């Protein structure tokens, strides 16, 4: 069941959360989003780091502590972020199912 208080994610945020099921740094996230979206979603660094900042504030992702000599910050999805992602997938499935019902199925 979809939480009625759930706010739809932007496409970029959706792909960022999907990318962070495993720890990644910023450049890795950008590359993974490109791969997952078949090069349709291309996040600029400013957009990515703005989204990361918001996701950190909402506690949907967290910093991952790596070796002290590694200067790259890595991030990973939190349990709360995973629940939000799962809710979004349910919402998207509902949209697709309703569209297919109305249109008689998409070929």
Q: Mind listing the pLDDT tens digit for each residue in 39-97?
A: 999 999 999 999 999 999 999 999 997 666 567 799 999 999 999 999 999 999 999 99
The partner residues of 74 in beta bridges, in order of sequence, read 25, 64
Q: Is residue 2 part of a domain?
A: no
What's the rounded Cα separation, in Å, for the pair 41 and 68? 32
Q: Is residue 55 part of a domain?
A: yes
How large is the average pLDDT for residues 11-31?
97
Q: Is residue 31 part of a domain?
A: yes
Question: What is the domain-level CATH number for residue 75?
Answer: 1.10.10.10
**Count of C-beta atoms within a 10 Å radius of residue 9:** 19
State pTM to two decimals. Answer: 0.87
Strand 61-64: give its sheet, edge to edge: 24-25, 74-77, 61-64
Domain of 48, in residue numbers: 11-101
């Amino acid at each position: 069941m979809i939480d009625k208080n759930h706010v739809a994610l932007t496409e970029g945020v959706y792909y960022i959360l999907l990318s962070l099921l495993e720890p990644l740094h910023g450049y890795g996230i950008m590359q993974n989003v490109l791969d997952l979206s078949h090069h349709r979603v291309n996040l600029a660094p400013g957009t990515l780091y703005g989204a990361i900042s918001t996701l950190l504030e909402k506690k949907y992702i967290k910093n991952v502590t790596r070796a002290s000599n590694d200067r790259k910050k890595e991030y990973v999805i939190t349990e709360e972020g995973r629940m939000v992602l799962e809710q979004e997938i349910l919402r998207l499935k509902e949209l697709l199912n309703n569209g297919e019902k109305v249109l008689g199925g998409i070929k």
